[in-house]
C-alpha cells in the first residue's frame, strides 16, 4: 500500500516535521499545502526523499519553503500522494537549499513577519480588493509594477523574499491595508498583565495558551477585532472566577474599552519581557 498523508491540524513545526518524515520514507510524489478557497495550493515535489522543486502560483523554488514556514499558521490542510513527477514540472521550480532548519532561522530573522498576516483580505489604495495577502504573492507578477513603484525614504525591510519586503513597504506607506480591523497587541498588554497578576499559576498558563491560539503567529504585532472580542470574553470569565465583584468590575472595564471610553496605554518599549510576553 502506497504512502499517503492528510493533515488538518496544522501547528507550529508541522511543515518541517512532515517534510522530514517524507524524506525518511524516501518518498517520491507531491506534498500539497492548502490555505483555503481562492488561494492556490503550494506544492513541494519529492524524488526518493529529496525535495526536487516547489511552487506557489508565481513563486517558485526556495522562496516557497520560506513562505510555507512563515505562513504555516494559515495552512488548512497538508496532503501527500505518491506520484511520478515529470521532469518538466520541476525544471522551473527547482530548490537549491533543503536544510529546513536554516530556512526556519532565516524566517525568524525576517523584519517583515511581525505585520505579515497572509490569510487576511487586503485592499490597495486604488480600492482594489484581494482575498488575502497570500493571494497577492501567488499572483505577484500582476501586482509587481504597482508595488515596485511605491516610494519611501526608508530602506526596504530585510526578508527572505523580495516580494514580502515590497508588500511591507506598501503597508507602511498606506498603499496597501488589511481590510479586517486590527488591534495592536501592545495596547492590551498592560490590561492582560493586570488581570493575570493575581491569578493562580494554572489560570495563567491556561490564559496564555488561549491567548496564543488567537494570534496570527508568534511574532504577530496585531490581533483581529473579532479575536479581540473572544479575548475579552475570556478575561471576563476569568475575573468572575475570582468573585462576582471582580467580574462586574471587569465587565464594566471591558465595556468601556469596547465603547472607546477607556484608553489602555502601551507598555514601555524597553521592557525586557515585551517581545515574548505572548509566547
**Quick one: 153 exposed, middle or buried, by C-beta within 10 A (0-12, 13-18, 19+)?**
exposed
* pLDDT for the residue 158: 93
What is the C-alpha separation between 52 and 45, in angstroms, rounded?
6
The cell for 216 is 496570527
* pLDDT for the residue 152: 85
| Residue ranges in the chain modelled with pLDDT below 50 | 1, 262, 264-275
* pLDDT for the residue 194: 66
Q: What is the pLDDT of residues 206-263, one digit of tens each?
A: 888 888 888 888 889 998 888 888 888 887 888 788 788 877 877 877 777 666 654 5
CB-based contact 71:57 (threshold 8 Å): no
What is the three-class DSSP state of 38?
coil
Give the distance, in angstroms, between the CA of residue 215 and the centroid of all CA atoms in the same chain.
8
* pLDDT for the residue 198: 66
What is the C-alpha separation between 251 and 235, in angstroms, rounded?
9
Task: Residue 51: name the closest of 37, 68, 75, 38 by CA.
Answer: 68
* pLDDT for the residue 100: 79
Q: CA angle at residue 58 from 29 to 52, to 5 degrees?
A: 30
Task: Give the strand order in the sheet containing 77-82.
Answer: 4-7, 77-82, 29-34, 42-47, 50-56, 59-60
Amino acid at each position: 500500500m502506497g504512502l499517503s498523508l492528510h493533515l488538518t491540524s496544522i501547528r507550529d513545526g508541522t511543515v518541517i516535521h512532515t517534510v522530514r518524515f517524507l524524506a525518511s520514507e524516501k518518498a517520491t510524489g507531491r506534498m500539497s499545502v492548502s490555505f483555503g478557497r481562492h488561494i492556490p495550493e503550494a506544492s513541494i515535489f519529492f524524488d526518493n526523499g529529496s525535495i526536487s522543486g516547489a511552487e506557489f502560483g508565481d513563486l517558485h523554488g526556495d522562496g516557497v519553503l520560506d513562505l510555507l514556514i512563515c505562513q504555516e499558521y494559515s495552512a488548512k490542510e497538508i496532503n501527500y500522494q505518491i506520484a511520478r513527477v515529470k521532469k518538466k514540472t520541476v525544471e522551473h521550480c527547482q530548490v537549491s537549499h533543503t536544510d529546513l532548519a536554516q530556512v526556519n532561522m532565516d524566517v525568524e530573522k525576517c523584519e517583515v513577519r511581525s505585520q505579515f498576516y497572509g490569510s487576511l483580505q487586503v485592499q490597495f489604495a486604488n480600492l482594489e480588493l484581494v482575498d488575502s495577502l497570500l493571494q497577492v504573492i501567488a499572483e505577484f507578477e500582476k501586482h509587481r509594477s504597482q508595488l515596485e513603484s511605491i516610494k519611501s525614504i526608508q530602506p526596504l525591510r530585510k526578508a527572505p523574499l523580495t516580494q514580502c519586503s515590497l508588500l511591507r513597504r506598501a503597508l507602511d506607506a498606506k498603499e496597501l491595508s488589511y481590510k479586517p480591523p486590527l488591534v495592536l497587541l501592545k495596547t492590551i498588554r498592560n490590561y492582560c498583565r493586570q488581570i493575570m497578576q493575581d491569578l493562580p499559576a494554572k489560570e495563567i498558563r491556561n490564559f496564555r495558551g488561549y491567548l496564543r491560539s488567537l494570534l496570527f503567529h508568534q511574532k504577530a504585532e496585531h490581533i483581529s477585532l473579532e479575536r479581540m472580542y473572544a479575548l475579552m470574553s475570556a478575561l471576563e470569565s476569568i475575573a468572575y472566577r475570582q468573585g462576582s465583584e471582580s467580574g462586574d468590575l471587569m465587565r464594566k472595564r471591558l465595556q468601556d474599552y469596547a465603547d472607546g471610553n477607556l484608553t489602555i496605554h502601551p507598555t514601555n518599549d524597553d521592557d525586557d519581557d515585551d517581545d515574548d510576553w505572548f509566547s
